[in-house]
Every structure is written in structure tokens, then in C-alpha cells.
Amino acid sequence: MSALFTPWSLRSLTLANRIVIAPMCQYSAKDGTASDWHLIHLGTLSQSGAGLLILEATSVEPEGRISPEDLGLWSDENEAALAEVIARVRAWSPMPIGVQIGHAGRKASTYAPWKGGGQVAEADGGWVPVAPSALPFRNADVAPIALDADGLARVKAGFVATTERAMRIGFDMVEIHSAHGYLLHQFLSPLSNARTDAYGGSLENRMRFPLEVFDAVRAAVPDDKPVFVRVSATDWVEGGWDVEECIVYAKALQARGLDVIHVSSGGLSPAQQIAVSAGYQVPFADRIRQETGLPTLAVGLITDPAHAEEILTSGKADAIALARGILYDPRWPWHAAAALGASVHAADQYLRCQPSGLRQLFK
């Protein structure tokens, strides 16, 4: 049997295969509330044959949105709209669905990419971001407000409340966003955390708030459901967060009940220098897996089914995440199954589309 199409059990959740659709921002919500676009987008991906679909970064408070159009789950309105979308998707697909929850920190209040990116001024509907320290992402940005004790408590409570809403909706898992230069990553990296209190300075202190958030979220998720954490294994900047520190963080999360670590990289600093190539982030996932024993999700320019299979058979990761690649090819799992001699779930309405002469592809 193909390793990529081997079932994967995580607590009481069993995935049909090792293909995970990674969170991808859609910049299509209003005041955090899901729109018809989310129904179209998620409905399409739910018919892909992947083992798990994880929703885009979903903010725990309005100030935590990357853009004013980001998805959120802080209000009753947000919850009701997202619950309706998920119910309608699930009516037509058995695919497990999870949600990534996060806070953008100093990278909040930016324009959607097709609007040019960059910070949205308060006069234009933006806001002043919050962060571990008053250090802007770009020199031209408005400096964020450093979170005080009340602010830290508010943000942590937001993570808990959002998790509770996600559980009421019925998501199968939760992923905490601790990567890509967003708030929890900002606490971890010495490039963005200049605090002199118990949340800054040493690695132990810089990990403190992200670990507090993890503990609070894990406590709000039933024991039978898994919790993932997404990390950036390195800032790709000298003197920044690196894989050695990430391994220490991963071990601390593991001791607290982490089920899967989702390994990415970068995003914290415009000074990052990344040599991009196929599977360029896989060595980080491999090293973290080898040194912690944690189930590991690898992502990053993994587009060839044979490459994905090799990553798993060689023990570099436990599953493969696809992001932009599955937007480009929403039937990637079908094509991978055909290439690797495996089978994949397809809706009854699509069963007759299998090309003649191809072995039995659909379950």
C-alpha cells in the first residue's frame, strides 16, 4: 500500500490518507463572518479526496486579523455563519474538517495581497496592532502596542473562547498558529520580542506565552480530539529563531499533549533569506521528528506524488500538507492515487469521470 494513502489515526480521529489541506487565507469575510466564497472554496476542496481539510487562519479577536477581510470566530455572528458553511459542506463530504486559530500580532491590519498588501491606516478602516514589543514588522509601519498583563489575558481568553466556539461548530481538530511571523511566533523570536518581563529574554521566557495559550486551548478541546501547532522552524535571519530553539519548543508542547507539529518556516522578518526549492522545508520536519518523536506534518513545494511518497517512506514526516498546489489542482489527491496505485474517496456524482483503462481509482 502507498504510504501516502495509509490511514492515520490521531486520538479518535482517523484520516483516510496522509494528505492534508493546509490553511490558506481567503480575505473574503466581513467583520470576521464567513461568506458565500467560503462555501464555494471549502466545498470544492472537500471533494478533493484529501484526508483532512484545515480552514484558514481564523482570528480570535478583531485586532488579530491579518486583514480587515480575514475570517474570525470571536462573535455569535461569526459562529452562526461558519457553522452554516460547515454543515452545508459536510452534507456532501465525509472529509474531516479542522480549523486553524490565531492572532496576527504586529502583522495585523494589512491589505489583501491583490490590493497591494501593506498596512491599512486607521482612517481607512485599519487599526493599531498589538505585539509582544513595540517593534514594527516593517520600518514604515505604525509601531504596535506592546501587550500588557491585561492584554495578554484578553488574547489568551480569546483563544479559549474561539476554541469553544469551534467545538460547538463540531470541528474535528484545532491547529494553533504559531508560525509565519504572527503573534505567538513574535513571542518566540528574539527579533520581535524585546520584553524584559517573564515573557521575554531567555528561551524559556519567550516560550511562556505560547505555551500558556497551548495549555488553555488543549484544556478547551475534548480529550478525544487532536490539537496541532504550526511552527516556523527558522526565521531565516541570523540571530533569529532557529531549528534548535524550535526543537526545545516542540518538546515542551509534546509534554503538554500536542498531537501533531506542522512544520513551516519564515514570515517573521522582511530580512529573511530563503533558498526555495522542492521540499525545502522538509529537512526541518525531518529533524524535529527525529529529535522529538512527534508526528510531523511537512509542507512546502511538495507537488510531485512520488516526492510526497518518498518523504513518508523515508521517515521524514508522517503526512504531507498542500496549500497553493491544491488550489492550482483541486484533484491532486486523485492524480496522486492514480500515480501510486491507490484508491481515493469520490462523491457518487463524480464516479463516472474515471478515465477508461485506469485501474479502480475510486472507493
DSSP state of 351: G
Annotated catalytic residue: which of 27, 111, 182, 249? 182
For position 147, what pLDDT does the model report?
98
Homologous superfamily of the 19-275 domain (CATH): Aldolase class I (3.20.20.70)
Flag whether pLDDT at 3 surpasses 90: yes
Q: Measured between alpha carbons, how far is residue 229 from residues 105, 126, 161, 263, 281 in Å?
A: 17, 28, 18, 9, 16
For the stretch 191-212, pLDDT in tens is 999 999 999 999 999 999 999 9
Q: Are 190 and 241 in contact (CB under 8 A)?
A: yes
Q: Measured between alpha carbons, how far is residue 7 from residues 17, 31, 149, 343, 344 in Å?
A: 5, 38, 44, 12, 11
- Judge if pTM exceeds 0.95: yes
Q: Which residues contact 166 (CB under 8 A, 6 or more apart)?
A: 58, 73, 99, 101, 174
Provide the residue ranges of all domains of the chain, joining segments of one domain with +. 19-275
353/330 Cα distance (integer angstroms): 15
Q: For residue 30, give the 3-state DSSP assignment.
A: strand
For the stretch 247-289, pLDDT in tens is 999 999 999 999 999 999 999 999 999 989 999 999 999 999 9
**Distance between the two ends of the chain, CA-based, in angstroms?**
14
Q: Is 182 a catalytic residue?
A: yes
For the stretch 73-112, pLDDT in tens is 999 999 999 999 999 999 999 999 999 999 999 999 999 9
Q: Are 65 and 104 in contact (CB under 8 A)?
A: yes
Residues in the chain: 363
